[in-house]
A and B are shown apart, each in its own frame.
Chain A
């Protein structure tokens, strides 16, 4: 059984159907990239996987546990699924170190010293050891996003969901964040990444899905999707991305 198994998932907000009959399998240690226009359902799909949104129909199984039947302990589930958002969403009233240690201490019950030691290791790894005592508004966007990644990693998740994490960044700050994700991929982290960074997706993904209007229109290995897409909509989308110079 795949590590993440999504079957016939449908989700609407009122009249608006954002996911239609989605099927997706993610193997352990694989990286899956979701591409597609804004509003195609990438973010909603990620949010369904850690139950920030409830699906209307279909089934999602993570690590052998069915999460869509309403019986799952969502807090326990979220401890093993990290998510990073486009807008970083750091806690502005806490220092970097407090941001990273809050959940390990309060949700997993780690003693303060242990959580802090671990957090400092992570900050070292993302190159921000010197910022441990700073508040988020003193950091650049790229630094904030790296802290957000460290905050998620501090829970030692088995799966990371990245929701367009470079979309809000100034162009010159994108690479420092992508470099970190690249490292994560190399370390064998299972990830589902919604992204507009096509060359990055091509480089790190084991599998790419093109979403269009809530449907996975086309999927396959990155070479196939980016070099020989079969669907006209995929070709059109990639063509427009190329024109915009984002490839």
Chain B
């Protein structure tokens, strides 16, 4: 009984929950901002990279190669290392502009670099899932390769990859907390500061609660999209 009491007091104390709430909430707003900016950037860069990876012909081989190297590197490197590399490495270069950014910006850059690699693969799977005959039909009407991609292939591909895309974004949301290691005053950082000051861990539960509350609607929305698609596919198959 004593042990349970200790656990409740250390992690679930209503008193400390209320006390930690304002600081952690302030920090969590930074997580949300990082997430929104990074997601927007990832959506654009990843689509560009996916299209580059699919370019036909020998002339595009070097570009395709670069895109492959990029995705291999950033998919294979743990995010926390990229955060260190960007957050501490770039300021140390002492270059103009780029070395003088805020830690918030470095956090966004690191998240964007890594998640662009993941999302490129998601887009690529989507592009490849659009049947060859669609491309052929578009090209046969006199549309160029890029026009066929833009008006026929990519719109269909994007619709198909929305659920896996949302899954990756759930990952990104949570990974914004890793940026704490370079000193961004986001939710995890605030929670840690609080727990050191008050020798109580409830602040971490506050941060966890925020992340969970943000994730659940997105997860349910993803489920809903998948269910809707399945229903539609069954209807058209008949």
Contacts and interface: CB of A to CB of B under 8 A. Distances in A.
A65 B78 CA distance: 57
A102 B136 CA distance: 15
Interface in B7-47: none
A74 B136 CA distance: 13
B236 interface: yes
A93 interface: yes
Q: How large is the interface on B (under 10, 10 to 19, 20 to 34, 35 or more residues)?
A: 10 to 19
Interface stretch (B58-66, B143-151, B182-190, B216-224): B143-151
Interface in B67-101: none
Contacts of A77: 142
B159 A93 contact: yes
A87 B140 CA distance: 14
A79 B139 CA distance: 10
Interface string A131-163: 000000100000000000001100100000000
Contact of B236 (A78, A108, A137): A137
Contacts of B52: none
Interface in A63-112: 74-79, 82-83, 85, 87, 89-93, 102-103, 106-108
A106 B138 CA distance: 11
Nearest to B133: A89
Interface residues of A, number: 26
Given A92-B156, A93-B156, A108 B133 contact: no
Contact of B136 (A52, A93, A151): A52
Given A92-B156, A106-B151, A85 B133 contact: yes
A103 B148 CA distance: 10
Contacts, number: 59
Given A93-B155, A107-B147, A137-B236, A155 B133 contact: no
A50 interface: yes
Contact of B141 (A76, A78, A93, A137): A78
B137 interface: yes
A102 B140 contact: no
B135 to A, nearest CB: 10
A134 B61 CA distance: 41
Contacts of A152: 141
A103 B142 contact: yes
A91 B137 contact: yes
Contacts of A74: 139
B152 interface: yes
Interface string B113-146: 0000000000000000000011011111111100
B151 A78 contact: no
A243 B73 CA distance: 63
8 interchain residue pairs of minimum CB distance:
A103-B141, A89-B137, A79-B142, A107-B142, A78-B142, A83-B140, A89-B133, A75-B142
22 contacts: A50-B140, A52-B136, A52-B139, A52-B140, A74-B139, A75-B142, A75-B143, A76-B142, A78-B140, A78-B141, A85-B137, A90-B137, A91-B134, A93-B159, A102-B143, A102-B151, A103-B141, A107-B141, A107-B144, A108-B142, A137-B236, A151-B141
